[in-house]
């Protein structure tokens, strides 16, 4: 990507802009967070809001470069060695700090210590890591996955895995004996006894799973309308993880429509959403979620205008949803993923996202969106069309259906009245304020929409139509 194009990108997990050299603690937090995650770039001399290149004084560049090198060395632990370079764009000078993914996490601020000074990148923000995240970073350094760790609360003989054995035989036509359990790293021998790993506990129908992983479940809901105020149906899927994806998928099928479409001389049935893609995303959520995060479950939510899947844990650094047609594979759960592959639930070789991309081509009326929400990753299948009864032109008109996108309608309303409030936009679009704020956030992220002034007295600015 050309520098000029990159500078127009929104801030995010791997990108940050600063008008000048920020305080030592701010830039050190960002550098630590980048090193703990996928790496990233910081550009000095670029204002973020509104985005504009202001440049740095040419005479100050050597001094700023030295300051950056010194503060990284003095404030970050273990040692981080970024690449610092001076760039020119539009006859103005910038400094780029390229931070690479670290091989010795967790990285933290020396003066704060590991427990209080470890930061991770969540969206465009630096977030203080808690003990669970620090432990996960330490596993990453040792190249150990959480699901491979031994559980010594019960021996494998004491653990109830009968349903998993039946599922394994049904899918593979093999008996899940001790030899296969060892080969799949579902069990390990410690001090002369055979114990399950976290992965096998997650596949078990045993009280130990419920006590150790009370949130290793899928919460499904069908909401009335486009908000979360009223349920039509809901279900908690608490079976072992080998069965969760199919039950969640079946819940979705019960609550979306199937119609008929003419292809040539034939009439064929067609779901209103790309169900194969939804099934793949649900499977990925179960296989690749971060099971070490306590208090978080997978959520499958169905609204009138979209299907939404939220999985605990950020997207692995090497997975890029913007390049879905390329083969990508990065198993966070290195024991669970091969088991799912044997069961025929996933393709271990990275075809999953490619499958999603292929099916989306047959659904131009559905938009695929993805984003990080806190410490979770969310995928949405959103209908681009919206049925409106009124307010599109500021007048009340009965029984008018407009086959236009929410984004377009919202921008039209703002064009006519830049001082319109979010509440008024939501009412005009027949959406909840939550849904409307999500659309606004996406438009801001794309650089199309910005706001000047306060929420009460400010106004909207459309940067691009």
* Helices marked H in 17-130: 24-36, 61-75, 114-117
- pLDDT single digits (tens) 97-110: 999 999 999 999 99
pLDDT digits 0-9 by tens, 61-86 = 999 999 999 999 999 999 999 999 99
The model carries a pTM of 0.75
Q: pLDDT > 70: what percent of the chain?
A: 89
Query: Residue 316 pLDDT > 90, yes or no?
Result: no
Q: Which fold has domain 218-383?
A: Heat Shock Protein 90 (3.30.565)
User: In the predicted model, is pLDDT for residue 38 greater than 80?
Assistant: yes
Other Cβ atoms closer than 10 A to 221: 19
- In this structure, of 97-106, 304-313, 338-347, 444-453, the range with the lowest mean pLDDT score is 444-453
Domains 3-139 and 406-462 share a fold: no
* Residues paired with residue 386 on neighbouring β-strands, in sequence order: 403, 404
In Å, how far are 241, 286, 291, 312, 465 from 215, measured between CA atoms? 11, 12, 9, 10, 44
Structure tokens at 314: 């950020």
Confidence at 12, pLDDT banded by 50, 70, 90: confident
Tally of helices (H runs) and strands (E runs) in the chain: 16, 22
Question: pLDDT at residue 405 above 70?
Answer: no
pLDDT in tens, 113-171: 999 999 998 888 899 999 989 999 999 999 999 999 999 999 999 999 999 999 999 99
Q: How confident is the model at residue 395 (pLDDT cuts 50, 70, 90)?
A: very low
pLDDT digits (tens, 9 = 90+) for 176-235: 999 999 999 999 999 899 999 999 999 999 999 999 999 999 999 999 998 888 999 999
Average confidence (pLDDT) over 335-361: 85
In this predicted structure, what is the pLDDT of residue 403? 32
Alpha helices (H) along 321-420? 336-342, 352-360, 406-416
Cis amide prior to 23 (ω within 30 degrees): no
pLDDT band at residue 398, thresholds of 50, 70 and 90? very low
Domain ranges of the chain: 3-139, 146-212, 218-383, 406-462
Contact criterion met (CB below 8 Å) for 274 and 381: yes
CATH code linked to domain 3-139: 3.30.950.30
- Of residues 197 and 52, more confidently modeled: 197
CATH topology of domain 406-462: Arc Repressor Mutant, subunit A (1.10.10)
């Amino acid at each position: 990507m050309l520098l000029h194009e990159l500078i127009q990108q929104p801030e995010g997990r791997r990108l940050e802009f600063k008008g000048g050299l920020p305080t030592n603690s701010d830039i050190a937090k960002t550098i630590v967070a980048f090193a703990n995650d996928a790496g990233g770039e910081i550009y000095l001399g670029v204002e973020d809001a509104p985005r504009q290149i202001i440049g740095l004084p040419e005479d100050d560049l050597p001094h700023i470069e030295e300051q950056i090198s010194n503060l990284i060395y003095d404030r970050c632990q273990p040692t981080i060695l970024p690449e610092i370079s001076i760039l020119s764009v539009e006859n103005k000078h910038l400094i780029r700090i390229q931070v690479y993914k670290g091989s010795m996490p967790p990285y933290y601020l020396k003066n704060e210590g590991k427990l209080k000074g470890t930061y991770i990148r969540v969206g465009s923000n630096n977030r203080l890591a808690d003990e669970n995240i620090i432990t996960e970073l330490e596993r990453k350094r040792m190249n150990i996955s959480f699901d491979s760790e031994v559980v010594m609360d019960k021996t494998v003989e004491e653990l109830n895995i009968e349903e998993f054995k039946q599922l394994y035989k049904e899918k593979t036509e093999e008996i899940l004996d001790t030899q296969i359990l060892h080969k799949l790293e579902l069990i390990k021998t410690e001090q002369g006894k055979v114990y399950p790993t976290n992965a096998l506990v997650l596949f078990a129908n045993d009280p130990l799973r419920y006590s150790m992983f009370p949130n290793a479940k899928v919460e499904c809901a069908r909401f009335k309308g486009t908000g979360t105020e009223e349920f039509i149906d809901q279900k908690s899927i608490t079976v072992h993880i080998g069965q969760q994806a199919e039950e969640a998928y079946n819940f979705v099928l019960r609550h979306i429509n199937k119609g008929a479409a003419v292809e040539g001389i034939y009439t064929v049935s067609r779901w209103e959403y790309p169900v194969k893609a939804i099934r793949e995303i649900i499977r990925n959520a179960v296989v690749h979620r971060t099971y070490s995060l306590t208090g978080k479950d997978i959520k499958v939510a169905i609204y009138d205008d979209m299907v939404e899947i939220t999985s605990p844990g950020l997207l692995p650094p090497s997975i890029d949803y913007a390049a879905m047609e390329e083969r990508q594979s990065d198993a966070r759960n290195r024991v669970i993923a091969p088991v799912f592959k044997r069961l025929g639930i996933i393709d271990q070789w990275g075809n999953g996202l490619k499958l999603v991309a292929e099916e989306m081509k047959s659904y131009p009326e559905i938009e695929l969106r993805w984003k990080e929400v806190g410490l979770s990753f969310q995928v949405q299948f959103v209908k681009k069309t919206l049925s409106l009864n009124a307010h599109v032109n500021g007048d009340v008109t009965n029984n008018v259906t407009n086959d236009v996108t929410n984004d377009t309608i919202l921008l039209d309303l703002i064009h006519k009245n830049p001082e319109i409030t979010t509440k008024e936009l939501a009412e005009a679009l027949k959406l909840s304020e939550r849904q409307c704020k999500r659309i606004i956030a996406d438009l801001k992220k794309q650089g199309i929409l910005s706001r000047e002034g306060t929420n009460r007295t400010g106004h909207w600015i459309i940067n691009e139509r």
